[in-house]
Structure 1
């Protein structure tokens, strides 16, 4: 009876397809082999001696179509429902490596669907902002890269994507402008002297420049420039520096657009 049940059929609510150029399996995807074994073992336990007379056809459905809309499955190429966990049945928080893998996978999925534009955002707020600004793009084009700038852009190049949009706020933009490839706050501090020089280019007086130099957060620089009525000019200059920095790292590999929003998700400026 090792092969029991002879047929397990997934019904409504199960993921049905993967749109990806990679067939590799990892912790982000359903482990079908283990899932089937768990189903088989529990069905055998429940059926008992009934199996001495005949087999069973199991049809399993879950309310997965609605639930899947709250997950990242569609961005990872898993369509039509939720994934049924199989390795242990226990959900563990994603590791940094797993999140990085999801960024790469998201870009690969978009490329496999023929998309030629990728919108990289640093979190939920910037993604909502970017989606409002670029509502004509398919949802699969939007990838939350978090702090993983370099893995995201390296994958863009590998997949031949021709246009990249970055949606971010002042803190992450400051890290990108100074050349950081991983923008996590614990990596390297923001170059406040560099921000002060950008502020001067935007028209900041000496007193504001000195105050920004002594500051500890990029947000302070933005707020100081806002108070002077120079916020838009400052953020535009910062975004322009990001474009220049990334163009130097990836010369001629893609065109780049930067969308900048404030901490309420309102647009400040953009650079093309």
Structure 2
């Protein structure tokens, strides 16, 4: 069992991550006002001292603590550390992402120093954005009889907050209230303070917005530095790092492990290679940022240097429990100094080359997708501002590519370095849907005129006979993701789409299931019996449906008069659900029987009624 502490943005994100497991956990907040929806978690409210937390952990069998509290909740952090030491529990700290400190901010290590610096700066009009709990800590400033400063505190618009401010002796007329939708500049323009005092609360605490508003109005900025965390805490900075930490510390909590994309591995390898080139250091683990700003780490298999101008590092791809063809492959990155400014990507062995338009990369470029390129550029540019050549290689990538969509996409010579998030979800729908989007973009770029989507090779072979003049890139597999594929076609304004569908998927789609994955949805015989009744089939058809095991038995089991009624009605429902996703596209549905014949055909227009 896991106990999450903290009614913060990070706490709500932690709840989302834990809910993915489908297993119970506890979520603790000091108050009840925080809006948190736990699908599988049990909410616990009320502050806990060390004794209460220890008793709770013992009685509930807590095996892991997740500290997602506010960075300035010092007492809670200390309590968590004390309990974790006594009970030998690991603590994962879900930390915020903090922007780099700049000289335009006057940094104070604590509130006492803040008071001193404010006095030294001659500040007589101050807006404190540090919260109601800090009023007493700043008393030596706002209650100073000599300075008599004008000081406002912005607090939450709650009765308990106002009462706490009054108990600390603060003037109620000097309280202003936080409103979520109000821009930061609004209050500053109204009060016109000389300075603001804030806490280093990170990106999720609105720190950046406060700084930008004050900077724009020429207002001095004082900030109290975030307190140091206990050294024993395992720090993560986002949802992916949290899940990876839980997977490592409690391997039985999630049914499937997440993994890393080839793009993340290439980024880690490139950074390790550049560090070797610049410093001579060979890292065994390297930290890097994924596109959402979260910092992750990957082990480095090996690093070696070739003279003074280049170095290479290798990272082993770990796809978790996703059935990825590149799992356990070695991703190598060679980084070399270049006389040309900027960072240039070169094709290494096992990485494909783009030969067709529509992939978002120029023809002739190595198949390193935009997101991985951006990740690599960001990491390397932070270390070195000169020219660099980056060569990504995947030994054995030529053979692996034959098991991917690359040949159809016109990517020759190897695999693609892909990944939009840096993370592979187990049995990742994101990766599959992204591959579908890439294929549809190629179809559009070469001007195919029609997109033909099919569940797999079998249905594609049958439908290809209907469109012998279309290029191979016009035929795309949707697998189980019918809805996602149609949404992509609509997003890209594809004018004409044909979908071939076998009966097993059609009976699920007709009921409204736009993802037909067998582990998520099964054939509903009751639904099919009702459909047969509604379209006028005989009682014999009802019995055939009741007795069947597989949908394909309908082809031979239904009497001919019933088949003539049933299959068009089934396809009509499929069309209805598909058209709900299309705003303009013309869609043709083809129901394919076991022999590859087109049993029924129907055409409809997105945003309109069926054509025929």
TM-score, normalised by the number of residues in structure 1:
0.69
How far apart are 1:34 and its partner, in Å?
Answer: 5.3
1:100, distance to aligned residue in structure 2 (A): 2.5
- Which has a greater percent of helix? 1
Choose from 466, 485, 502 the match for 1:169.
Answer: 502
Structure 1 residue 140 displacement after superposition: 0.9
Q: 2:571 aligns with which of 236, 239, 248?
A: 239
Contact 2:504–2:552 (CA under 8 A) maintained in structure 1: yes
Alignment partners' CA distance in 2, 1:168 and 1:251: 18
Gap change, CA 1:96 and 1:252, over 3 Å in 2: closer
Following superposition, the deviation at residue 199 of structure 1 comes to 3.0
Q: Is structure 2 residue 492 aligned with structure 1 residue 159?
A: yes
Task: Using CA pairs under 8 Å that are at least 6 residues apart, name the structure with larger relative contact order, 1 or 2.
Answer: 1
Matched with 1:207 is 540
The answer on 1:141 being equivalent to 2:474 is: yes
Conservation of the 8 A alpha-carbon contact between 1:16 and 1:81: no
- 1:182 is matched with which residue: 515, 526, 531? 515
Name the CA distance, whole Å, in 1 between partners of 2:391 and 2:371.
13
Q: Relative to 1, partners in 2 of residues 1:251 and 1:123: Cα closer, same or farther, differing over 3 Å?
A: closer
> What runs of 5+ residues in structure 2 fail to find an aligned partner?
1-306, 311-335, 339-345, 362-368, 377-388, 419-425, 604-612
* CA deviation map 1:8-32 (0-9, x unaligned): 8889x962435225354479xxx99
How far apart, CA to CA, are the structure 1 residues paired with 2:403 and 2:466?
A: 22
- The 2-side partners of 1:72 and 1:136 are apart by 21
Give the structure 2 partner of residue 57 of structure 1: none
CA distance in 1, matches of 2:510, 2:562: 19
Aligned counterpart for 2:591 among listed residues 248, 260, 265? 260
CA separation in 2, counterparts of 1:235 and 1:124? 23
1:41-120, aligned counterparts within 5 Å?
Answer: 71-78=404-411, 80-83=412-415, 95-120=428-453
Displacement of 1:126 after TM fit?
A: 0.4
Residue-pair matches, total:
236
RMSD: 3.8
Query: SS at the partner of 2:448?
Result: coil
- In the other structure, the counterpart of 1:55 is none
* Aligned-pair CA distance for 1:104: 1.8
- Cα gap change, 1:33 to 1:237, in 2 (>3 Å): farther
**Change over 3 Å in CA distance of 1:213–1:76 after alignment to 2:** same
**Secondary structure, in 3 states, of the residue corresponding to 1:178?**
coil
Q: Deviations over 1:164-186 (max 9, x none)?
A: 11101111111111111211122
The C-alpha deviation readout for 1:221-248, integer Å capped at 9, x for no partner, is 34321x446435432332222112222x
Q: Deviations over 1:132-170 (max 9, x none)?
A: 121122211110010011211111111000211110111
SS of equivalent to 1:256: strand
Aligned to 2:353: 15
SS in 1 for 2:452: strand
Cα distance change on mapping 1:19 and 1:210 into 2, 3 Å:
same
